Structure 1
Amino acid sequence: MEPVAVYHLTDVTVGHEPSHPDEVVAGEPTTGAVTVTTLDGLGVEVGVWEMSTGAVRDVEAEEAFLVLSGRATIETDSSTTTVKQGDLVRLAAGTKTVWTVTEPIRKLYVTGM
Protein backbone atom coordinates (compact mmCIF):
# COMPACT_ATOMS: atom_id res chain seq x y z
CA MET A 1 0.00 0.00 0.00
CA GLU A 2 1.12 3.53 -0.73
CA PRO A 3 2.12 5.63 2.31
CA VAL A 4 -0.48 8.23 1.33
CA ALA A 5 -3.75 7.31 -0.40
CA VAL A 6 -6.24 9.95 -1.55
CA TYR A 7 -9.83 9.01 -2.31
CA HIS A 8 -11.81 11.49 -4.38
CA LEU A 9 -15.28 10.91 -2.94
CA THR A 10 -16.98 13.02 -5.61
CA ASP A 11 -15.72 10.45 -8.14
CA VAL A 12 -17.11 7.43 -6.27
CA THR A 13 -20.09 6.00 -8.15
CA VAL A 14 -22.67 4.20 -6.05
CA GLY A 15 -25.06 1.81 -7.77
CA HIS A 16 -28.57 1.67 -6.29
CA GLU A 17 -31.05 -1.15 -5.80
CA PRO A 18 -34.66 -0.97 -4.60
CA SER A 19 -34.98 -1.28 -0.83
CA HIS A 20 -36.32 -4.60 0.41
CA PRO A 21 -40.14 -4.43 0.59
CA ASP A 22 -40.11 -5.53 4.27
CA GLU A 23 -38.00 -2.47 5.11
CA VAL A 24 -39.92 0.16 3.12
CA VAL A 25 -42.07 2.50 5.21
CA ALA A 26 -42.91 5.07 2.49
CA GLY A 27 -42.18 5.74 -1.16
CA GLU A 28 -39.96 3.63 -3.39
CA PRO A 29 -36.50 4.29 -1.96
CA THR A 30 -33.31 2.88 -3.40
CA THR A 31 -29.99 2.43 -1.60
CA GLY A 32 -26.42 1.60 -2.46
CA ALA A 33 -22.99 1.39 -0.86
CA VAL A 34 -19.39 1.13 -2.00
CA THR A 35 -16.40 0.26 0.18
CA VAL A 36 -13.70 2.88 -0.43
CA THR A 37 -10.95 1.44 1.79
CA THR A 38 -10.32 -0.73 4.83
CA LEU A 39 -7.94 -0.22 7.73
CA ASP A 40 -5.98 -3.45 7.73
CA GLY A 41 -5.56 -5.06 11.13
CA LEU A 42 -8.21 -2.83 12.71
CA GLY A 43 -11.28 -4.43 11.16
CA VAL A 44 -12.56 -1.06 9.94
CA GLU A 45 -14.40 -0.36 6.69
CA VAL A 46 -14.79 3.12 5.17
CA GLY A 47 -17.27 3.66 2.38
CA VAL A 48 -19.93 5.75 0.73
CA TRP A 49 -23.65 5.00 1.19
CA GLU A 50 -26.59 6.65 -0.57
CA MET A 51 -30.37 6.58 -0.32
CA SER A 52 -33.01 8.19 -2.53
CA THR A 53 -36.10 9.86 -1.09
CA GLY A 54 -38.50 7.71 0.89
CA ALA A 55 -38.45 5.93 4.23
CA VAL A 56 -36.99 2.61 5.39
CA ARG A 57 -36.55 0.80 8.70
CA ASP A 58 -33.20 -0.66 9.71
CA VAL A 59 -31.26 -2.14 12.61
CA GLU A 60 -27.96 -0.30 12.81
CA ALA A 61 -24.38 -1.50 13.01
CA GLU A 62 -21.86 0.39 15.15
CA GLU A 63 -21.06 3.27 12.85
CA ALA A 64 -19.93 6.86 12.54
CA PHE A 65 -20.80 8.79 9.40
CA LEU A 66 -20.41 12.22 7.83
CA VAL A 67 -23.29 13.50 5.71
CA LEU A 68 -21.76 14.65 2.42
CA SER A 69 -25.05 15.83 0.88
CA GLY A 70 -28.80 15.59 1.35
CA ARG A 71 -31.12 15.58 4.33
CA ALA A 72 -32.92 12.94 6.40
CA THR A 73 -34.51 12.26 9.74
CA ILE A 74 -33.50 9.24 11.80
CA GLU A 75 -36.22 8.08 14.16
CA THR A 76 -35.57 5.72 17.08
CA ASP A 77 -37.84 4.55 19.89
CA SER A 78 -36.79 7.58 21.93
CA SER A 79 -35.94 10.41 19.50
CA THR A 80 -36.08 11.89 16.02
CA THR A 81 -32.93 13.56 14.68
CA THR A 82 -32.50 15.54 11.47
CA VAL A 83 -29.17 15.15 9.68
CA LYS A 84 -27.80 17.26 6.84
CA GLN A 85 -24.60 18.05 4.97
CA GLY A 86 -21.66 18.49 7.33
CA ASP A 87 -23.17 16.57 10.26
CA LEU A 88 -21.06 13.87 11.93
CA VAL A 89 -23.29 11.19 13.46
CA ARG A 90 -22.68 8.09 15.56
CA LEU A 91 -25.09 5.15 15.56
CA ALA A 92 -25.02 2.49 18.27
CA ALA A 93 -25.14 -1.14 17.18
CA GLY A 94 -28.58 -2.71 17.47
CA THR A 95 -30.50 0.58 17.35
CA LYS A 96 -33.80 0.21 15.49
CA THR A 97 -34.26 3.18 13.16
CA VAL A 98 -36.56 4.60 10.52
CA TRP A 99 -34.73 6.73 7.98
CA THR A 100 -36.91 9.29 6.18
CA VAL A 101 -34.91 10.88 3.38
CA THR A 102 -36.32 14.18 2.09
CA GLU A 103 -33.31 15.06 -0.12
CA PRO A 104 -31.25 12.18 -1.56
CA ILE A 105 -28.53 11.52 1.00
CA ARG A 106 -24.89 10.56 0.56
CA LYS A 107 -22.71 9.75 3.53
CA LEU A 108 -19.15 8.65 4.24
CA TYR A 109 -19.34 5.85 6.80
CA VAL A 110 -16.84 4.16 9.11
CA THR A 111 -17.81 0.82 10.65
CA GLY A 112 -16.38 -2.48 11.88
CA MET A 113 -16.18 -5.31 9.37
Structure 2
Amino acid sequence: MTTPSTPSTPSTPSFTLHAATATLTPDPLDPAQILSGSPEVTGKVLHESPDGRHLHGIWQITPGVVTDVEADEVFTVLTGRATIEIEGGPTLHVGPGDCAVLREGDRTTWTVHETLRKTYAITLAAPTT
Protein backbone atom coordinates (compact mmCIF):
# COMPACT_ATOMS: atom_id res chain seq x y z
CA MET A 1 0.00 0.00 0.00
CA THR A 2 0.96 3.64 0.05
CA THR A 3 4.12 4.36 1.96
CA PRO A 4 3.32 6.65 4.88
CA SER A 5 5.02 10.04 5.03
CA THR A 6 6.75 11.36 8.17
CA PRO A 7 9.97 9.32 8.01
CA SER A 8 12.41 9.38 10.89
CA THR A 9 15.97 10.40 10.25
CA PRO A 10 18.87 7.94 10.41
CA SER A 11 20.04 9.72 13.56
CA THR A 12 16.81 8.96 15.45
CA PRO A 13 17.73 7.19 18.70
CA SER A 14 16.32 3.81 19.66
CA PHE A 15 12.83 4.02 21.13
CA THR A 16 9.73 2.03 21.97
CA LEU A 17 6.04 2.68 21.41
CA HIS A 18 2.82 0.73 21.60
CA ALA A 19 2.07 -0.07 17.94
CA ALA A 20 -1.62 -0.82 18.51
CA THR A 21 -2.33 2.64 19.98
CA ALA A 22 0.37 4.88 18.46
CA THR A 23 -0.85 8.13 16.91
CA LEU A 24 -0.65 7.95 13.11
CA THR A 25 -0.56 10.68 10.46
CA PRO A 26 -3.12 10.90 7.62
CA ASP A 27 -1.75 9.61 4.31
CA PRO A 28 -4.54 10.07 1.72
CA LEU A 29 -5.05 7.45 -0.97
CA ASP A 30 -5.05 8.32 -4.65
CA PRO A 31 -8.80 8.40 -5.46
CA ALA A 32 -8.10 6.12 -8.45
CA GLN A 33 -7.15 3.35 -5.97
CA ILE A 34 -10.55 3.38 -4.23
CA LEU A 35 -13.03 0.87 -5.66
CA SER A 36 -15.64 0.96 -2.89
CA GLY A 37 -16.39 2.80 0.34
CA SER A 38 -14.43 5.69 1.79
CA PRO A 39 -11.29 4.08 3.19
CA GLU A 40 -8.84 6.33 5.01
CA VAL A 41 -5.16 5.57 5.47
CA THR A 42 -2.88 6.70 8.27
CA GLY A 43 0.67 5.71 9.04
CA LYS A 44 3.95 6.38 10.74
CA VAL A 45 7.40 5.55 9.40
CA LEU A 46 9.50 4.43 12.36
CA HIS A 47 12.79 4.05 10.50
CA GLU A 48 14.04 4.79 7.01
CA SER A 49 17.45 3.66 5.76
CA PRO A 50 19.82 6.42 4.60
CA ASP A 51 19.23 5.43 0.96
CA GLY A 52 15.43 5.56 1.46
CA ARG A 53 14.94 1.99 0.20
CA HIS A 54 14.15 0.28 3.50
CA LEU A 55 11.19 1.41 5.58
CA HIS A 56 9.74 0.12 8.83
CA GLY A 57 6.55 1.46 10.29
CA ILE A 58 2.89 1.24 11.21
CA TRP A 59 0.03 1.54 8.70
CA GLN A 60 -3.74 1.58 9.10
CA ILE A 61 -6.71 1.53 6.72
CA THR A 62 -10.42 1.81 7.46
CA PRO A 63 -13.02 -0.41 5.72
CA GLY A 64 -13.42 -0.25 1.96
CA VAL A 65 -11.94 -1.76 -1.20
CA VAL A 66 -8.70 -0.42 -2.72
CA THR A 67 -6.14 -1.47 -5.31
CA ASP A 68 -2.37 -1.16 -5.17
CA VAL A 69 0.89 -2.27 -6.76
CA GLU A 70 3.11 -3.57 -3.98
CA ALA A 71 6.75 -3.25 -3.01
CA ASP A 72 8.60 -6.14 -1.34
CA GLU A 73 6.94 -6.19 2.08
CA VAL A 74 6.60 -8.31 5.18
CA PHE A 75 3.86 -7.26 7.57
CA THR A 76 2.12 -8.39 10.74
CA VAL A 77 -1.52 -7.53 11.39
CA LEU A 78 -2.11 -6.03 14.82
CA THR A 79 -5.86 -5.43 14.58
CA GLY A 80 -8.63 -5.75 12.01
CA ARG A 81 -9.34 -8.05 9.08
CA ALA A 82 -8.90 -7.92 5.31
CA THR A 83 -8.94 -10.06 2.21
CA ILE A 84 -6.07 -9.38 -0.18
CA GLU A 85 -6.50 -10.68 -3.71
CA ILE A 86 -3.24 -10.93 -5.63
CA GLU A 87 -3.74 -10.78 -9.40
CA GLY A 88 -2.64 -14.13 -10.83
CA GLY A 89 -1.86 -15.43 -7.34
CA PRO A 90 -3.43 -16.42 -4.05
CA THR A 91 -6.09 -14.68 -1.99
CA LEU A 92 -4.88 -13.89 1.52
CA HIS A 93 -7.25 -13.66 4.48
CA VAL A 94 -5.48 -11.73 7.24
CA GLY A 95 -6.36 -10.86 10.81
CA PRO A 96 -4.69 -10.18 14.16
CA GLY A 97 -1.37 -12.00 14.53
CA ASP A 98 -1.07 -12.98 10.86
CA CYS A 99 2.18 -12.34 9.01
CA ALA A 100 2.13 -11.93 5.24
CA VAL A 101 4.61 -11.37 2.43
CA LEU A 102 3.90 -9.30 -0.67
CA ARG A 103 6.30 -9.13 -3.58
CA GLU A 104 7.35 -6.15 -5.63
CA GLY A 105 4.97 -5.69 -8.55
CA ASP A 106 2.08 -7.68 -7.02
CA ARG A 107 -1.17 -6.07 -8.16
CA THR A 108 -3.53 -6.34 -5.23
CA THR A 109 -7.12 -5.62 -4.29
CA TRP A 110 -7.61 -5.08 -0.57
CA THR A 111 -11.11 -5.62 0.85
CA VAL A 112 -10.85 -4.26 4.37
CA HIS A 113 -13.62 -5.71 6.54
CA GLU A 114 -12.56 -4.13 9.86
CA THR A 115 -10.08 -1.26 10.32
CA LEU A 116 -6.72 -2.94 9.81
CA ARG A 117 -3.50 -1.85 11.53
CA LYS A 118 -0.20 -3.50 10.70
CA THR A 119 3.51 -3.13 11.27
CA TYR A 120 5.61 -3.47 8.14
CA ALA A 121 9.09 -3.72 6.67
CA ILE A 122 9.31 -2.60 3.03
CA THR A 123 12.18 -2.76 0.56
CA LEU A 124 11.76 -0.45 -2.40
CA ALA A 125 13.32 -1.21 -5.78
CA ALA A 126 16.68 0.38 -6.49
CA PRO A 127 16.38 3.40 -8.76
CA THR A 128 17.21 2.73 -12.38
CA THR A 129 19.98 4.81 -13.86
Counterpart-to-counterpart distance in 2, 1:72 and 1:109: 15
> What's 1:87 paired with?
98
1:22 aligns with 2:22: no
Query: Whole-Å Cα distance in 2 between the matches of residues 17 and 4 of structure 1?
Result: 24
Please state whether the residue corresponding to 2:23 is helix, strand or coil: coil
2:48 & 2:30 partners in 1: Cα distance? 27
Give me the TM-score of the superposition, normalised by structure 1. Answer: 0.85
Q: Per the alignment, in what secondary structure is the counterpart of residue 108 of structure 2?
A: strand
RMSD: 2.3
1:88-108 CA-to-partner distances (Å, cap 9, x unmatched) read: 111000000000100000000
The separation in 2 between residues aligned to 1:94 and 1:32, in whole angstroms, is 22
Name stretches of at least 5 consecutive residues in structure 1 with no aligned partner. Answer: none
Aligned residue identity for 2:113:
T
Contact 2:20 2:79 in 1 (8 A): no
Distance 1:42 1:15 in 2: 19
Q: How many positions carry a matched residue from both structures?
A: 113
Q: What is the identity, as a one-letter code, of the residue corresponding to 1:81?
A: L
Q: What is the identity percentage for the equivalent residue pairs of Structure 1 and Structure 2?
A: 35
Q: Distance in 2 between matches of 1:81 and 1:13?
A: 27
Unaligned runs of 5+ in 2: 1-10, 125-129
What is the TM-score when the length of structure 2 is the normalising length? 0.76
CA distance in 2, matches of 1:52, 1:30: 5
Give the whole-Å Cα distance in 2 for the aligned partners of 1:17 and 1:70. 19
Are the counterparts in 2 of residues 19 and 31 from structure 1 also a CA contact under 8 Å? yes
